[in-house]
Amino acid sequence: MMHPDRIDDYLQQLTPSARSNLLTELERLEVCGASMHGSAAILEKLRAEFRKGERTHKSGHANVRVAHPSRYFFMPLEPLLVNSDPEHANSGRILRGSLAPIWEWITRDLLPTMARDYISEMKALIAADKQREANQVAGTFQTKIVKYLESTLGSPDGVNQTRIKLATYTASHGVYGDLTKMLCVLRARDALAKCENALPAAIDEFNSARLCKIAELLGALRKTNADEVPFALAMVTKRLKTSWQLIRLATMAAPTKNAADIAATPCAIAVSMVLDRLDDNRLALRAALKNERVLVAKGLLLEIYDTEDA
């Protein structure tokens, strides 16, 4: 194992941006169950450093978390973020590990001057605990980013250049896909927020009445924002006590249990989303067994069996 002093020396030779990217890549490998020998000590150092950027301060009698301006920018994505295998597509969900390279690309390549002004203004608002104003500034910046992304990704050359630039911040091939998902979510953030607020806080079971109510909610979203339905389904999944029940939104609308009939329903993608989660659980189970986390492995295995039975 590398000596702690040598780890410190190595990390100090890197720029803050490089250390942030290193943290993202190591956590990406950890999620995949492919972490390198000796990486735990480096992860500990990096996590300690970047948590300092989210320090707390006193405001009256309450401890208030001081968030980085990027957290406000990515706030509409929060209900959709997952820790998963970066190379495995997840419909309606965005990898948490993709946010750091996307933010680096936005602030260094896409709109560096505008991003610098945004960060400066946000830091002052956050320090003064002006949450409403901070959210408004973040919303304005999100709208500007949407317009620039639509223009940048509107041509093959723009797409190619974006992929090349993103590759300088991460080795993950999934980050471009997450960027396009981010564009969809930010473009329809108000509609998705309205949908999320209308959902119950928790769904123990998908009974007929609740199924019909949520299907109606998704139907209203589909009329104006059809591409955002998978993200709404991901929000529903987070409320479900038993995640595999999401498939009932597809099967309830099918005249038969025939695969072709289910595939023709408005929420057919719910089936593939459940299969995505099943595959994620398989990868997580492998990592849990490798690290001898028996209780975690047991819980994952039970969910896998329940999903397969369903």
Q: Which residue, among 108, 104, 107, has the nearest Cα to 25 in the 3D structure? A: 104
> Could you report the per-residue pLDDT of 267-308, keeping only the tens digit for each?
999 999 998 888 888 888 888 898 888 998 999 999 999 888
Residue 31 CB contacts under 8 Å (≥ 6 apart), including other chains:
83, 84, 85, 86, 97, 287
> Could you report the per-residue pLDDT of 115-156, keeping only the tens digit for each?
999 999 999 999 999 999 999 999 999 999 999 999 999 999
What average pLDDT score do residues 160-189 get? 92
How many whole angstroms separate alpha carbon 52 and alpha carbon 281?
32
Q: What is the pLDDT of residue 60?
A: 44
Q: What is the pLDDT of residue 185?
A: 96
Q: What is the pLDDT of residue 85?
A: 67
Q: What is the pLDDT of residue 57?
A: 44
How many whole angstroms separate alpha carbon 273 and alpha carbon 172?
21
Give the length of the chain. 310
Share of the chain above pLDDT 90, in %: 47
138 vs 16 pLDDT, higher one: 138
The answer, yes or no, to whether residue 221 has pLDDT greater than 80, is yes
Contact assessment for residue 99 and residue 85, using Cβ atoms and an 8 Å cutoff: no
How many whole angstroms separate alpha carbon 51 and alpha carbon 48?
5
Q: What is the pLDDT of residue 152?
A: 96
User: pTM for the full model?
Assistant: 0.78
Tell me if residue 240 falls in helix, strand or coil: strand
Beta strands in the chain (DSSP E): 56-59, 62-65, 81-82, 94-95
Structure-token match 């975690």, residue found:
296
How many whole angstroms separate alpha carbon 230 and alpha carbon 125?
34
Contact assessment for residue 143 and residue 183, using Cβ atoms and an 8 Å cutoff: no
91 vs 83 pLDDT, higher one: 91
